[in-house]
Amino acid sequence: MKNMFLRMTMIVAVGVAMHMEASEADQLKSDLVGQCMGGREKCWKFQSLDQIKELVVKDKTEDSQKRVYTVALQLQAAKGSGKYAAEARVEYVKTAAGWKVKQVGLLSLKKSG
């Protein structure tokens, strides 16, 4: 009985952790809409959630005033247009209203399909 309880507790803990990761990625996607990353030569303007086919958090650092994510992205501007693989650095700052995107830095962007 004790073993069964332990297993159930572990299953619930893993499920909660996976949900937190998924909701963190979903929040990042939402926060990216309306943002630009890159400069004159290579840039991406996030216009809708549909453009972000996949977002994976590769690294995260945080202190009381700043959060920095390194993310891998699979992007597609419109149906039938090219697909792109990107890596970005998303920096948040703490405000009175909560966490807000300060900047999105483009680390790499290449056509993948």
Neighbours of 86 (CB within 10 A): 21
Q: How far apart are CA 104 and CA 52, in angstroms?
A: 14
pLDDT for 66-111, tens place per residue?
Answer: 999 999 999 998 777 889 999 999 999 999 999 999 999 999 999 9
Chain-centroid distance, C-alpha 73: 8
Please state the pTM of the whole predicted model.
0.76
Q: How far apart are CA 22 and CA 66, in angstroms?
A: 21
Q: Which are the contacts of 95, defined by CB distance < 8 A and separation ≥ 6?
A: none
Q: Which fold has domain 2-111?
A: Nuclear Transport Factor 2; Chain: A, (3.10.450)
Q: How confident is the model at residue 5 (pLDDT cuts 50, 70, 90)?
A: low
Q: What is the residue extent of each domain of the chain?
A: 2-111
Q: How far apart are the first and last CA of the chain?
A: 53
pLDDT for 16-50, tens place per residue?
Answer: 444 345 689 999 999 999 999 988 777 899 999 99
